[in-house]
Chains A and B, each alone.
Chain A
Amino acid sequence: MVFAIFSVFTLLTAAGVILSRNVIYSALNLVLCFFGLATLYLLWGATFISMIQILIYAGAIVVLFVFVVMLLNFEKPIDQSVKLPLMLLSGAGAWGLAFLLLRVLSKSVGEIPILESNSGASVRTVSKLLFSQYVWPFEVLTIFLLALIVGIYVLAKPEGEEKK
C-alpha cells in the first residue's frame, strides 16, 4: 500500500519533469522523482543505495543542472508545438516500448517484495561484494572519472592559454 503510493508519486513527478513549461520546475520535479525512488529503495531494504541516490543524484547532478540553467538563463518556456507526422511516429515508438516492457515484466515479477534490513541488499553485503567480486570494476571506475576530469579541462580551457 505504502509502496503503491510512493510509486505513483514517483511516476507523477517524472511526468512533471517532461510536462513542465519552465525548466526550473522540471528540475524541481526531478528532485522529487529521485526522492520517490529513494523511498522505494528504502521500502525494499536497500538503505545504502537510497541514501547514495539522494546524495549523488538529487544532491549533485540536479544541482549541476540548476547551475547551468541559471548561468545560461533558460527561463523562457520552450516552444512546444510539434508537427503531426513526428507526433505519430514518436507516439508509436513510445507505445511499442511500453508494450514490450509490460510483456517482459509480467513474466518475471510476482508480487512486490518488501524486505527488512538484513536482506541481501543491506550495506554490509553491498560493501563486501564491492570489494571481493567487483573490485576491478571499482578501480576502473576511478580511471574513468580521471578521464572525465581531463576531458573537462580540455573543454573548458581558459582562453588566455591559447595565446601563449
Chain B
Amino acid sequence: METLLPLAILLIVSLLLCVGILAVTQILGPKRPVPMQLSTYECGVKPEGGSHVPFKSSFYLVAVLFLLFDVEAAFFLPWALVYKNSLAEGPALFWALIVYLGLMAIGLFYILRKNILRLN
C-alpha cells in the first residue's frame, strides 16, 4: 500500500491542476462572444452541410482488429516474463510460443492478403 500512496497523491494533484486550469481561463479571459466567432471554422467560407462524417468502414475495422491483436499481445506479456527462467526446465515454453505466434502470424497474414484495412 505504501507504493500506492504517491500514486493517489499524483492523481489528486493532477485533478486539481485540471480544475485550476479551467478556473483560470474562466476568470482571466474576456467574454465577448460574437456569432461569427462561435460558428464552426471551415477555412473562412460559410460552413455547409451537417457536421457528420460519411461512414467509412475502415475506421471500424482498424478498431476491431486492434482489439483482437491487443488481446493477443496481452498474452505475450506473461509469456515473456517467465520465459527466461523456464528455459532451465526445457523447451516447453519455446514451443508454446511457436504455436501461438504461428497462429497470430496466420491472422496477420490473412488481414494483409485480403486487404481488409484497404492498405493498397
Contacts and interface: CB of A to CB of B under 8 A. Distances in A.
A and B touch in the complex (CB under 8 A): yes
Contacts of B118: 158
Interface string B51-76: 01101110111011111101110110
Interface residues of A, number: 38
A118 to B, nearest CB: 13
Given A138-B96, A146-B106, A152-B116, A73 B52 contact: yes
A135 interface: yes
Contacts of B71: 56, 60, 145
B53 A60 contact: no
Nearest to A159: B57
Interface of A: 42, 48, 52, 55-56, 59-61, 63-64, 67-68, 70-73, 123-124, 126-128, 130-131, 135, 138-139, 141-143, 145-146, 148-150, 152-153, 156, 158
Interface of B: 4, 52-53, 55-57, 59-61, 63-68, 70-72, 74-75, 77-79, 81-82, 86, 92-93, 96, 99-100, 103-104, 106-107, 110-111, 114-116, 118
